[in-house]
Structure 1
Amino acid sequence: MTDIDTPVVIIGAGPVGLATALVLGRHGVRSVVCEQYGGINPHPRAHVVNTRSMELFRAWGIADAVRADAVDPAQAGTILWKQTLAGEPLGRIDFADGTQNSLTQRAHASAEQLASCAQDRVQQHLLDAVLAQGAAAVHYDTTVVEVTDHGDAVDVTLDGAGGRQILRTRYVVAADGAVGSTRDKLGIAMEGSPVLGHQLNIYFHADLSPWMRQDPALLVWLINDTSPGVLIGMDGARRWTFQRSFDPAVESPQDYPPERCAQIIRDAVGTTELDVDIRSVGSWTLTARTAETYRSGRVLLVGDAAHQFPPTGGLGMNSGLADADNLGWKLAAVLGGRASDALLDSYERERRPIAVENARHSMLNAIKMAEVGIGPETAAIAARLAGPDPAVAAAERRRIAEAVPRQRPHFDALNQEIGYVYGAARQVFGVGGPPPSATDYTPTAVPGARLPHAWVERDGERVSTHDLLGPGFTLITGPKGTGWADSLAEPCPESGEDSGAQPAKPGEPGEPGEPAETWEGMVQRTVVIGRDVTSPDGRCPELLGIGADGALLVRPDGHIAWHSTGGSTPASALADLLRGAERPAQ
């Protein structure tokens, strides 16, 4: 056996890298996280934490902390279009004004709701959880110089405070973002759209309450000929970002000193009197690309290293968090000797189609925003709005007001957040297949789908079906389904000589030892409806579709692995799944 310093090395300590470490730690897998910068970037970039991510945070124990740092929902549910912040609204979208059907869908779909929390705050809560967990070492000011895959192990060459060193590991997770070098060094190409533009992101502190107090909003899209862009509230009070187009062929962020940026903000607000504290200036590229493969040997890509979307839809960070949750339990199963290395191939099969669809959705949102003045026609629309002919200006205002409601799927896309189905997704999102609805979500309990949420009662407490899950597999049965649970006490089916599994000592994933002789520890818990929990409103058995004597097996990432519509037992289904003998969620 090759001597291993740590089972997993993670390159990048952004939200996705830290989430990967946290998920691995929940399964008892140690990791080392290497970050080239000195700490969390205080410049907030992403801010949308969608419903699925909040469900993950709930499982990881940080949802309350993220919610406490999020923008007040009363403000976060409003999107405005104006000429300047001081001007009158051209149009608006309020989540609370949705159709009764959409409001009902959101109310019943999850125990959590979409939130807006600045990425640096999200990242801090993830870091706190990782450090409290104690399974990962996080090294800042540490650059990964080289990754050498030997087939049975990987050498990772680091430059850090202690000088140059080499760590030997089983697997490497590249979470070093869109501009990270790991993907390129592996020779993995990106496919998708060409570059559509470049954006400047100005992070500043200012008191905008004189304009926000009466009509609070999370996003304000500003259409004018002096300082067009979008104003985003990062805390609903003093922390803001302003994004506008710029041309890197003729300028760079260094051409935007604080004085110039402060004037840009004042022009966007529509005032000459405003104290603006410019904190930082960054840039990003508007594109939609997906890595051709998510894996090269023992190196796997997650987050922006694997996919990049326009921010129109807020799916970038959220997709990466789901990547981490999907990959983490599979790495733990392989390192723990409960599955062959082939299981890791299912990570790309499941997550890449979702990324392709999220890229499509985000790109359509970006294109559609042109009709409301955001895009290549901004200058022309701004000129009509501010022109000398009142009739032309009034007609343009009416046109924008009529077009704004059509942008709702950009901001309120519940099915895009939680409705994706592994396995079936490859057919739905395939060439020639109809695109799925971004908004209309219908809970389904088929293999590959996220476990539907329903409120149940456990020990006198109202909890979600998601609260019944844990790091291991969970078997949920109907009232007469105790026989399913008994099958899990059977000995493991023979694994076969060619399984490729690395046996692990219980509690020490990645270390040599003896394989388990039963399914104990793999299926962490069994929940019998009517015995362990009750469903006061009767929705749970109906949503899960298991009847009185049926059952379903839920994976550690909350997606359904198996349903009791066939003749197999949970034990044999789990054995097939973990060995990679069949594709998960076919």
Structure 2
Amino acid sequence: MKDIDAPVVIIGAGPVGLATALVLGRHGVRSVVCEQFGGINPHPRAHVVNTRSMELFRAWGIADAVRADAVDPAQAGTILWKQTLAGESLGRIDFAEGPRGPLLERAHASAEQLASCAQDRVQRHLLDAALAQGAAAVHYDTTVTEVADHGDVVDVTVEGAGGRQTLRTRYVVAADGATGGMRDRLGIAMDGAPVLGHQLNIYFHADLSPWTRQDPALLIWLINSVSPGVLIGMDGARRWTFQRSFDPAVESPQDYPPERCARIIRDAVGTTELDVDIRSVGSWTMTARTAGTYRSGRVLLAGDAAHQFPPTGGLGMNSGLADADNLGWKLAAVLSGRASEALLDSYERERRPVAVDNARHSMLNAVKMAEVGIGPGTAAVAARLESPDPEVAAAERRRIAQAVPLQRPHFDALNQEIGYVYGAARWADGAGGAPSSTVDRTPIALRGARLPHAWVERGGERVSTHDLLVPGFTLIAGPGGAAWADAFADAFEAFFPGSSARPEESSARPEGAGGGMARRTVVIGRDVTSPDGRCLELLGIGADGALLVRPDGHIAWHSAEGSTPLSALTDLLRGAERPAR
């Protein structure tokens, strides 16, 4: 096509939009990112970076930077319930003191661990990485006013500092958030629960160490009749957010000037002597909805534009990052001309069921939180805690103390983070139907599942199996699997002639359409060794077997299927859907 400004235009420079640009850049695809606001929003919102997202960040080269900005794990692993911050403790969850089994499962399941890093810091690292690639142009203060899909190209009209202009592109990714508007303009409806409530989010700086020094925690739920809500430590020191319910029918964030917000924070802490620096105030709607479709012609939805969950479970931003990883490589493959347009339909087939289940999981968590006084019943619980009858107050404290430990699955659902399987008739925990969010199992090597992590040794260095992967396709074979390596090379050459076996030599077409794609073959025992002997077992390939890993780290083919790498690549790149074994 001529006169293409960029193969992909991305609407929204939040975490998902920037992640999409970063993934496209890894495949040599240029993109233009349009963001209506003037820069990264300094108001931190999401903060949970789950295990899978940290694995993606590891592959993208930003895990160390995100980890450096994250809350100290010792603090991030503790969740408290109190009446006020200065008041009596009602209960706690400390993951370091939890059952040994789940702790070991987390430790062995991945080379990375869940982290808490404020969204604005995450965005900064994604932006820096995308710009360093040189494949993405990010334009702030640029509003998309119209998208015209002509069937073979899309014209995107934008207004910015340079006035109005039209960008011509091949595909548009709408990552403009829950309220961005593009989904509604496309006429895509949302399925799911009605509005569950509205929350006010106050971002402030203050020294809360007199109350947190001896008992630091990431989340502190406060149940009282004056200023109930939850304190979230964004940096483990001075950056905090406080979230509380509010009714947009009778008030708005503009009704909360700094003086009022500072008073709310002092009441929540339980002191009149506290310097509070209010930085910003926002609001958000709690709901659990998923877009009926993720695609309208050449426009595809990602992140909160495609799905919204209650924050109970921390799955919102993380689901969007996985959307970006899934969609990015598929766009690159289609733009290269080596994959069928139908491959893009597999994006919805794979990611939408995960979003639906994440919405289910988050809803169950939100409902269960009512047992510990969080939700519509907060006022009644607070009244009992503050009852002038000491027996009523003591009974309520005992009830909450017993209910708090039962909330642990809300904050520790490893299977929800890494156990989903694309296109599977069963999920990684072995149960029928939807995945279980309460039973975490060792990840298994199943087509559609994320590649299991195992420690191996390469050139004298201890690395994860995830570190063996390239942005293209990776074949991992057992010691006797050389024949699979030859079959893989032949299959790959059929689809990507001239592509390199080394990622650093992978080329792209001048227009950034990803003409080549990286590949790598790893033979266990030759290229890497397994000192503990567990790698072959975890990968389920045996001495003579092999598996093929897609660019997004999910398994595309397994030698136990009785097929070949060629048939796997054919089905995958044509967008064919086959039942999982």
Taking structure 2 as the reference length, the TM-score comes to 0.95
Give the conservation status (yes or no) of the 8 Å contact 1:84–1:270.
yes
The residue type equivalent to 1:304 in the other structure is: D
Superposed, 1:491-502 pairs within 5 Å as: none
Count residues with an aligned counterpart.
570
1:584–1:164: structure 2 CA closer, same or farther, 3 Å change rule?
Answer: farther
Give the conservation status (yes or no) of the 8 Å contact 1:335–1:509.
no
The residue type equivalent to 1:302 in the other structure is: A
Give the conservation status (yes or no) of the 8 Å contact 1:111–1:453.
yes
Superposed, 1:195-206 pairs within 5 Å as: 195-206=195-206
Give the conservation status (yes or no) of the 8 Å contact 2:8–2:30.
yes
Displacement of 1:522: 4.2
Query: Does residue 1:528 correspond to 2:528, yes or no?
Result: no
The equivalent residue for 1:443 is 443
CA distance in 2, matches of 1:96, 1:407: 15
Displacement of 1:455: 0.3
Give the conservation status (yes or no) of the 8 Å contact 1:28–1:509.
no
Q: Choose which of 528, 540, 543 in structure 2 pairs with 1:545.
A: 540
Percent identity of paired positions between Structure 1 and Structure 2: 85
Query: Does residue 1:399 correspond to 2:394, yes or no?
Result: no
Q: Look up the SS of the partner of 1:226 in the other structure.
A: coil
The equivalent residue for 1:568 is 563
1:181–1:525: structure 2 CA closer, same or farther, 3 Å change rule?
Answer: same
Q: Look up the SS of the partner of 1:25 in the other structure.
A: helix
Q: Look up the SS of the partner of 1:424 in the other structure.
A: coil
The equivalent residue for 1:465 is 465
Give the conservation status (yes or no) of the 8 Å contact 2:221–2:231.
yes
The equivalent residue for 2:12 is 12
Q: Deviations over 1:51-110 (max 9, x none)?
A: 000000000000000000000001000000000000121000011122111011001000
Query: Does residue 1:342 correspond to 2:337, yes or no?
Result: no
The equivalent residue for 1:380 is 380
Superposed, 1:199-278 pairs within 5 Å as: 199-278=199-278
1:356–1:491: structure 2 CA closer, same or farther, 3 Å change rule?
Answer: closer
1:226–1:5: structure 2 CA closer, same or farther, 3 Å change rule?
Answer: same
Superposed, 1:262-301 pairs within 5 Å as: 262-301=262-301
Q: Look up the SS of the partner of 2:422 in the other structure.
A: coil
Unaligned runs of 5+ in 1: 496-504, 516-520
CA distance in 2, matches of 1:93, 1:233: 16
Displacement of 1:387: 1.0
Q: Look up the SS of the partner of 1:490 in the other structure.
A: helix
1:532–1:511: structure 2 CA closer, same or farther, 3 Å change rule?
Answer: closer
The residue type equivalent to 1:577 in the other structure is: L
Displacement of 1:413: 0.8
Give the conservation status (yes or no) of the 8 Å contact 2:261–2:278.
yes
1:77–1:154: structure 2 CA closer, same or farther, 3 Å change rule?
Answer: same
The equivalent residue for 1:498 is none
Displacement of 1:422: 0.7
CA distance in 2, matches of 1:107, 1:82: 30
The residue type equivalent to 2:116 in the other structure is: S
CA distance in 2, matches of 1:384, 1:167: 60
CA distance in 1, matches of 2:235, 2:213: 14
The equivalent residue for 2:66 is 66
Give the conservation status (yes or no) of the 8 Å contact 2:219–2:230.
yes
The residue type equivalent to 2:317 in the other structure is: M
CA distance in 2, matches of 1:95, 1:49: 16
Q: CA RMSD in A?
A: 1.9
Q: Look up the SS of the partner of 1:203 in the other structure.
A: strand
CA distance in 2, matches of 1:567, 1:276: 65
Give the conservation status (yes or no) of the 8 Å contact 1:2–1:152.
no
Superposed, 1:175-190 pairs within 5 Å as: 175-190=175-190
The equivalent residue for 1:507 is 508
Q: Which runs of 4+ in 1 moved over 3 A?
A: 425-429, 432-435, 491-495, 509-513, 581-586
Q: Deviations over 1:256-281 (max 9, x none)?
A: 00000000000000001000000000
Give the conservation status (yes or no) of the 8 Å contact 1:39–1:140.
yes
